[in-house]
Amino acid sequence: MFDIDLEKTNQMLAEQDVIERVAYGIKTFGSDAVLLSSMQKTASLLMHCFYRLGAENDILFVDTGFHFHETLNLRDDFMRRYRLNIVTLYPELTPEQQEEKYTCKLYKTEQGQPTCCKLRKSDPFIRYMNDQNKSLAFGGLRREEGNARANLDILSIDPRFGGYRLNPILDWTEEMVDNYLEKHEVPIHPLHAESYPSIGCQCCTTAVAPGEEERAGRWRHLRDDGKSGPVYCDINFSDGGGI
C-alpha cells in the first residue's frame, strides 16, 4: 500500500494541468496505476492523455454484456488508433447465466438493478484491482456533475481495493473537456451527438430531451412512475459508499 499524504498531494495536484496529474499518478504508482474507462467522452480524454505520455498501463473496460455496439466499436478504435493497452473485463456470469440463476432480468426492477450493477460492473473491476494488486485507478469524474462528486478531492481513497482513485479532470467544466477533445481531434462516443450525454448499458440508457438533466436517460425505466430511482451504478465508490 502506497502511503500518500492526501492533503499535501491534493494541494499540489490542484495547481497542475491534466497531463501533469496523469503523469504524477503513473510516475508515483508505476504499473500499479490503471485507468477505468467507460468509453464516454471524459474517458476519451484520459485515454488520449495515456497516449500522449506513452503509458503502457492497463486501461480497464468492463464489458457488461449489455453495451451499445458503438461503445465496443469505440474501444476497438482506440486500440487500433493509439495502440493503448485496453484490458476488457467480464462478469463471472453471461447475461443468460445470470438470468437463469436469478430467474429474471435483474436490470428491469428497482430491487434487481443494484445487484445487476454489482455483478456486471463493480465486481469485475474490484476483483481485477485486488487480484492484480493494483493501487490506483484513474477516472473521469467532475465536480460539476454534482451530488457526492461536488465535494470530492482529486486524489481519494477507495477502500474496496485498499488503494486510491485519481480524477484528473475533477475541476474541469464540460466546455473544457469539449475543447480538449476538439483541439486534439480525439474520437468520442457517437451517441453523445444523438442526445446521449451519459452512456451506460443499452437496456438502461435512453436519450435525454432538451432541458433534462445529463443523467436523466440512465435507468429511466425505473423512474417511470415518478420515483427517484438510481443515478449511479456505484462502480465509483465516492458516489455512494459502494456496494
> Residue 112 or residue 187: which is nearer to ligand SF4 going by CB?
112
> Is 121 an interacting residue with respect to ligand SF4 (CB under 6 A)?
yes
For residues 37 and 81, give the distance between their C-alpha atoms in angstroms, rounded to a whole number.
16
Give the count of residues interacting with ligand SF4 (CB under 6 A): 13
Name the minimum Å distance from CB 233 to ligand SF4. Answer: 5
> Residue 107 or residue 180: which is nearer to ligand SF4 going by CB?
107
> Residue 59 or residue 199: which is nearer to ligand SF4 going by CB?
199
Window contacting ligand SF4 (CB under 6 A); options: 8-16, 111-119, 167-175, 187-195: 111-119
Cα dihedral angle (207, 212, 214, 220), rounded to 10 degrees?
-50
- Name all contacts of 35-38 with Cβ < 8 Å and 24+ positions apart: 35/59, 35/60, 35/137, 35/138, 35/139, 36/60, 36/62, 36/125, 36/137, 36/138, 36/139, 36/235, 37/61, 37/75, 37/86, 38/140, 38/199, 38/200
The pair phi, psi for residue 147, each rounded to 5°, is 50, -140
Considering only 68, 107, 161, 232, the residue that binds ligand SF4 (CB under 6 A) is: 107
Q: Which three cell numbers stand for residue 10?
A: 491534493
DSSP string, 126-161: HHHHHHTT--EEE----GGG-GGGGG--SEEEETTT
**Binding string to ligand SF4 for residues 127 to 166, with x set by CB under 6 A, is what?**
----------------------------------------
**Terminal CA-CA length for the chain:** 22
> Is 104 an interacting residue with respect to ligand SF4 (CB under 6 A)?
no
> Is 64 an interacting residue with respect to ligand SF4 (CB under 6 A)?
yes
* Residues of span 194-213 touching ligand SF4 by CB under 6 A: 200-201, 203-204
Name the minimum Å distance from CB 89 to ligand SF4. Answer: 13
User: Please, are residues 65 and 96 in contact by the beta-carbon 8 Å criterion?
Assistant: no
> Residue 91 or residue 168: which is nearer to ligand SF4 going by CB?
91
One-letter amino acid of 121: K
> Residue 99 or residue 182: which is nearer to ligand SF4 going by CB?
99
Q: Which of 240, 30, 31, 60 is nearest to 140 (CA)?
A: 60
Name the minimum Å distance from CB 66 to ligand SF4. Answer: 4
Name the minimum Å distance from CB 184 to ligand SF4. Answer: 29
Residues that bind ligand SF4 (CB under 6 A): 64, 66, 107, 113, 116-117, 120-121, 200-201, 203-204, 233
